[in-house]
Amino acid sequence: MVKTKVREFFEARFVGECEPMVRLDNVRFNSISDEDNESLVGVISEEEVKNVVWSCDSLKSFGPDRSNFSFIKYYWVCLKEDFISLVNDFMVNGKWPRGSNASFICLIPMTDNLQQLSDYRPMSLVRGVYKIVLKILAIRLKKVISKVIDIRQSAFLKEGGLLDSNLVANKVLEEMKRKKKNCLFFKVNYEKAYDCVR
């Protein structure tokens, strides 16, 4: 009964609405060069895989199978070819062998005073190969992302500060008040920003 209610609650949270999508027909986006694209999707080297494995905490849980990165590091000589093959197979085919990306969902408390299911955040415990590929892709993306993100964005960039947008908004509001001009400000609710796709 409890398991069913928890599942229904989080399934409802992650269902997308069917409202019309915003059209972006006349918007021009920055793009990356063919060389940058190749750096994102090209063959993953042994060095990239090894660097990521060694950057992970040895004792952290690997995932549902309970192996950890200490095991991989210890047996690296025996495992490296299989790991590199599996990672590059994903890069070529865009899918995992059956069962290799199986995961467990666990609920993480977001507050000390737990009253309802919305006080928990679902978190997926994934297998190590999945973590390795994600980390490699994140490292690669980090090298080109500044070429496609608008210069006005301040969050999620190494050079930008999350609070920069707030400072700019405060300055604009101050200026509008000082000049007694009409303007429109709206605040978007980011409460579930990391908990949903849309």
Residues 48-83 have pLDDT tens digits of 999 998 998 877 665 666 667 888 888 899 988 988
Count the Cβ atoms, other than its own, within 10 Å of residue 84.
17
121's tokens: 């955040």
In angstroms, the CA 103 to CA 92 distance is: 22
Contacts of 191 (CB under 8 A, 6+ apart): none
Mean pLDDT, the chain, rounded, equals 80
In angstroms, the CA 101 to CA 126 distance is: 7
34 vs 185, residue with greater confidence: 34
Whether residue 165 contacts residue 154, with contact meaning beta carbons closer than 8 Å, is answered with yes
pLDDT > 90: percent of the chain:
18
Give the torsion sign (CA, 52, 57, 63, 66). positive
Q: Is the pLDDT of residue 170 over 80?
A: yes
Query: pLDDT (tens digit, 9 = 90+) per residue, 182-194?
Result: 888 777 665 555 5
Place of tokens 């707030």: 166
What is the secondary structure of 78-142 as a DSSP string? HHHHHHHHHHHHHHHHSSPPTTTT-EEEEEEE-SSS--SGGGEEEEEEE-HHHHHHHHHHHHHHH
Confidence band of 8 (pLDDT split at 50, 70, 90): confident
Give the torsion sign (CA, 52, 54, 57, 63). positive
pLDDT score of 107: 82
Exposure class string for 101-119: b at 16+ Cβ within 10 A, else e: beeeeeeeeeeeeeeeeee
Q: Where are the domains of the chain?
A: 2-17+27-148, 152-198
107 vs 101, residue with greater confidence: 107
pTM for this prediction? 0.67
Residues in the chain: 198
